[in-house]
Amino acid sequence: MLTVDFTRFPLAPGDRVLDLGCGAGRHAFECYRRGAQVVALDQNGEEIREVAKWFAAMKEAGEAPAGATATAMEGDALNLPFPDESFDVVIISEVMEHIPDDKGVLAEMVRVLKPGGRIAITVPRYGPEKICWTLSDAYHEVEGGHIRIYKADELLAKIRQAGLKPYGTHHAHALHSPYWWLKCAFGVDNDKALPVRAYHKLLVWDIMKKPALTRVAEQLLNPVVGKSFVAYATKPHLPKADAQ
């Protein structure tokens, strides 16, 4: 289940990509399949080890084209272990809402991104997220949980302040918003509640089968109740006078 739309955020074979806060690796895997040179970085060592295993399995199965590479590593988003201008593309998906110093993370991403490079940022959308916070304190008051809810204008302003130029936005995963509302209403750790179990089965069926009906329904509902807000931006080239 991808949050970044690669029709709006195209990759070229050989692009050097950083998936920052990669989690289970869903975007890193897609970039690898598309021929990129991928670095998946996360502070969670257990998840990184799983991502590394999947990279190896994908290589063994021939899922990545020739020339594609993939590395999984532990690291700190506020102190990235890469030289300036190392990457053509940076993806950070559902991460910034967890980090107190979000401006510091943006600064690090801009530092390692090449001029002309592209960045994709996804965060929970304000409206659906606010409902989750209202229904359940346990949803966000946990160690490592969500510490803020972004309004779209607020996030775009921070992106611009970091020196990036936004070029597009959209919403994603409308069908997932009701699932999280049910989870919050019945208890975030209560997977046995019938409405939660039933809706989870629907989501699994949708992910596996990708039926046209739910694809169309989600496209229609995304502008209204999409769970994620997605922003795309570029790092401008310096004017020649400033670059010298």
Per-residue pLDDT at 111 exceeds 90? yes
pTM value is 0.94
Q: Is the pLDDT of residue 240 over 70?
A: no
For residue range 132-152, list pLDDT tens digits in order: 999 999 999 888 889 999 999
Return the SS3 of 76.
Answer: strand
pLDDT score at 144: 81
237 pLDDT above the threshold of 90: no
Number of neighbours of residue 60 by Cβ within 10 angstroms: 8
- Rounded-to-integer distance, Cα 26 and Cα 58, Å: 13
| pLDDT band at residue 216 using 50, 70 and 90 as cut-offs | very high
Q: Contact 107/96 with Cβ under 8 angstroms?
A: no
